[in-house]
Amino acid sequence: MGKPTGFLEIDRKLAPKRAVSERVNDYKEIELLNSTEDTEAQASRCMDCGTPFCHNGCPLGNIIPEFNDAVYEQNWKYAYDILSTTNNFPEFTGRICPAPCESSCVLGINKPAVAIELIEKSIIEKAYSEGWVIPYVPKVRTDKKIAIIGSGPAGLAAAAQLNKAGHLVTVYERADQIGGLLRYGIPDFKLDKSVVTRRVEIMKKEGIIFITNSNVGMKDKLANLTNNFDAVLVATGSTTPRVISVKGNDALGIYPAMEFLSQQNKRNASINIELNHKGEKYGNTNIHAGGKHVVIIGGGDTGSDCVGTSNRHRAASITQIEVMPKPPVDRASNTPWPNWPNMLRTSTSHDEGVERLWSISLQEFIKNDKGELEGLLIGDIIYNMKDGKMEQEVINTRKIPCDLALVAAGFVHTDHDSLFDQLLSVGVKSDERGNLVANSSYQSDNEKVFIAGDARRGQSLVVWAISEGREAARNIDLFLMGKTSLEGKSVSSFDLLAK
Ligand SMILES: Cc1cc2nc3c(=O)[nH]c(=O)nc-3n(C[C@H](O)[C@H](O)[C@H](O)COP(=O)(O)OP(=O)(O)OC[C@H]3O[C@@H](n4cnc5c(N)ncnc54)[C@H](O)[C@@H]3O)c2cc1C
Ligand code: SF4
């Protein structure tokens, strides 16, 4: 470890953000980078704790203390080499990971945690600017061919790893662009799409074949892939939205958050919005919040992305409602360190302006006589103890104005479409939630078909999708070759403690 007293001398310093007054006028990224000197100082706060719990907090097992030390020692190339052994895409996680590693940082017990995510982003951006990120073309090719369905972070991570092992990889994507939710879903102000394109271009040079506008199940049949490839990886995500079953939910003016968000990604890229993120025609081709009273149903991250986008559209008002009670401002006692804390999260989008309401019951979508949405009937949920049981009561029922309702109430399962039916017909199983089932080797009940990412675990995080893609790739390599030299998740502190 470079500086034993770094954590005593230096305070946590995050990168500057563009001012709200400036950033709401465009869709450019909000967060900037610290200077090289500041980042090296931040890395010196990593305190050689002995048992780095951050290591286990990161689903990729990123080797955090080692890359922090290399940055502090100004050996950025070595830091990049360490980081890239466990993470194919630090430029994505360094921007949009909620950083569970920081919640389990040992320094975080009594001081602000090491700024791990920012250091990760700084390493990869330095690597790009120095020309260290170059295509890896395998010296030896095997004769194995692998088809990957879906080009989100799970599919991309698996493609990169399997290509590295020498296999010929073809990625099928139903949308017109590669990237899954990184491309269509996550707003540009959190992740600029040039960052996704920059990586995909490198992957193409590595020999990976990408086929867009190709809905497997519809255009290309699953059987074509299972017959012509040695293995098939299904990484189709989980974007079927939860439907709000209350009176009036057929009103004009209610849309799933994904349709709203992905349209804005397309507008920013000057892509026609006639087809949605699935490559299908959607009922209304222009979902815009400009001048509207917007209510976002759901208090999570997708809802927060709708807040930021609605502010950029110049909505007349923005309200975000959530059925759950307001979380505590600090870590709740039922999620002690090093767990991911239950606590109030205020995003950069919230900072730009929104009214957040908690413990709200949505009772009805109110329509005018043309069937258009004009308001929501909501009430406050309170809890009463009755005969030893907690009972829910709705009080203070009231109407709030709303002519655009965006449903961000979560995703129920992977799409139950033609591909899903074809997968079931070749022996792949689905679980009780409606996602696809694979064993601990990511292999389904059809030995040639593997599953990874949200399609298997349900809507989750980019870092988990990358982790699943890498693990699935390792198991596919093992299945095809009988051995593998692809890296698995690095050994975690918890694993070491268990030994
Ligand atoms: C609005 C929003 C914001 C989010 N923000 C964050 C965030 O800030 N940080 C974070 O960590 N996570 C975030 N997430 C979650 C994260 O994006 C997902 O967990 C992650 O993208 C899942 O990766 P995946 O590869 O499994 O699936 P996806 O990214 O969903 O990719 C699946 C791909 O498969 C394609 N596909 C589906 N069916 C077919 C078919 N039949 N044929 C061909 N292609 C098909 C889809 O078009 C899609 O491109 C967000 C999610 C949403 C919805
Ligand atoms: S990928 Fe996420 S959890 Fe892992 S080190 Fe980076 S910020 Fe932390």
Ligand 2 center to 192 CA (angstroms) = 19
Q: Which two tokens stand for residue 165?
A: 């092992």
Average pLDDT in the 295-314 region?
Answer: 97
Q: Return the ligand 2 atom nearest residue 64 CA.
A: 5
Ligand 1 center to 239 CA (angstroms) = 7
The whole-number pLDDT of residue 491 equals: 46
Would you say residue 495 has pLDDT above 70? no
Q: Tell me, using a 6 A CB cutoff, whether residue 29 lines ligand 2.
A: no
Using CA atoms, how far apart are residues 393 and 27, in angstroms rounded to an integer?
41
Give the model's confidence band at 3: pLDDT under 50 very low, under 70 low, under 90 confident, else very high. confident
The whole-number pLDDT of residue 125 equals: 98
Ligand 1 center to 460 CA (angstroms) = 9
The DSSP code sequence of 430-469 is: B-TTSPBP--TTSB-SSTTEEE-THHHH-S--HHHHHHHH
- Nearest C-alpha neighbor of 90 from the set 58, 119, 124: 124
The whole-number pLDDT of residue 427 equals: 97
Cβ burial of 110 (10 Å; 0-12, 13-18, 19+) is exposed
Tell me the per-residue pLDDT of 6-22, one tens digit each, with 9 for 90 and over: 999 999 999 999 999 99
Contact 381/389 with Cβ under 8 angstroms?
no
The DSSP code sequence of 280-301 is: SB-S-S----TT-EEEEE--SH
Q: Tell me, using a 6 A CB cutoff, whether residue 155 lines ligand 1.
A: yes
Would you say residue 490 has pLDDT above 60? no
Tell me the per-residue pLDDT of 367-399, one tens digit each, with 9 for 90 and over: 999 999 999 999 999 988 888 888 889 999 999
Which residues make beta-bridge pairs with 241? 411
Would you say residue 253 has pLDDT above 80? yes
The whole-number pLDDT of residue 1 equals: 65
Tell me the per-residue pLDDT of 132-171, one tens digit each, with 9 for 90 and over: 999 999 999 999 999 999 999 999 999 999 999 999 999 9
Tell me the per-residue pLDDT of 223-238, one tens digit each, with 9 for 90 and over: 999 999 999 999 999 9
Tell me the per-residue pLDDT of 18-42, one tens digit each, with 9 for 90 and over: 999 999 999 999 999 999 999 999 9
| Ligand lying nearest the CA atom of residue 232 | 1
Tell me the per-residue pLDDT of 350-362, one tens digit each, with 9 for 90 and over: 999 999 999 999 9
Tell me the per-residue pLDDT of 83-110, one tens digit each, with 9 for 90 and over: 999 999 999 999 999 999 999 999 999 9
CA-proximal residue: ligand 2, atom 1 (nearest): 93
The whole-number pLDDT of residue 386 equals: 84
Give the model's confidence band at 245: pLDDT under 50 very low, under 70 low, under 90 confident, else very high. very high
- Nearest C-alpha neighbor of 424 from the set 233, 172, 222: 222
Would you say residue 498 has pLDDT above 50? no
Q: Which two tokens stand for residue 486?
A: 């692809």
Average pLDDT over all residues of the chain:
95
Give the model's confidence band at 220: pLDDT under 50 very low, under 70 low, under 90 confident, else very high. confident
Q: Tell me, using a 6 A CB cutoff, whether residue 149 lines ligand 1.
A: yes
Mutual angle of helices 76-86 and 116-130, in 10-degree steps: 110
At residue 367, the 3 state secondary structure works out as strand
- Nearest C-alpha neighbor of 490 from the set 86, 12, 218: 86
**What pTM was computed for the model?**
0.96
Ligand 2 center to 329 CA (angstroms) = 23
Contact 92/4 with Cβ under 8 angstroms?
no
Pocket test for ligand 1, best of 186, 234, 240, 348 (most atoms within 8 A of CB): 186
Would you say residue 410 has pLDDT above 60? yes
Q: Out of 50-64, 260-274, 379-393, which region has the weakest mean confidence (pLDDT)?
A: 379-393
Average pLDDT in the 104-118 region?
Answer: 95
Would you say residue 5 has pLDDT above 80? yes
Give the model's confidence band at 493: pLDDT under 50 very low, under 70 low, under 90 confident, else very high. very low
Using CA atoms, how far apart are residues 337 and 108, in angstroms rounded to an integer?
8
Give the model's confidence band at 2: pLDDT under 50 very low, under 70 low, under 90 confident, else very high. low
Q: Tell me, using a 6 A CB cutoff, whether residue 156 lines ligand 2.
A: no
Q: Return the ligand 1 atom nearest residue 175 CA.
A: 47
Cβ burial of 10 (10 Å; 0-12, 13-18, 19+) is middle
- Looking at this protein, which amino acid is placed at residue 80? Y
Which DSSP symbol is given to 333? Answer: T
Quote the percentage of the chain above a pLDDT of 70. 97
Tell me the per-residue pLDDT of 322-343, one tens digit each, with 9 for 90 and over: 999 999 998 888 999 999 999 9
Buried b (16+ CB within 10 A) or exposed e, 400-417: bbbbbbbbbbebbbbbeb
The whole-number pLDDT of residue 497 equals: 41
Q: Return the ligand 1 atom nearest residue 156 CA.
A: 25
Q: Which two tokens stand for residue 364?
A: 């009805």
Would you say residue 190 has pLDDT above 60? yes
Strands laid side by side in the 449-451 sheet:
209-211, 168-172, 145-149, 231-234, 449-451
Q: Return the ligand 1 atom nearest residue 455 CA.
A: 26
Using CA atoms, how far apart are residues 69 and 61, in angstroms rounded to an integer?
16
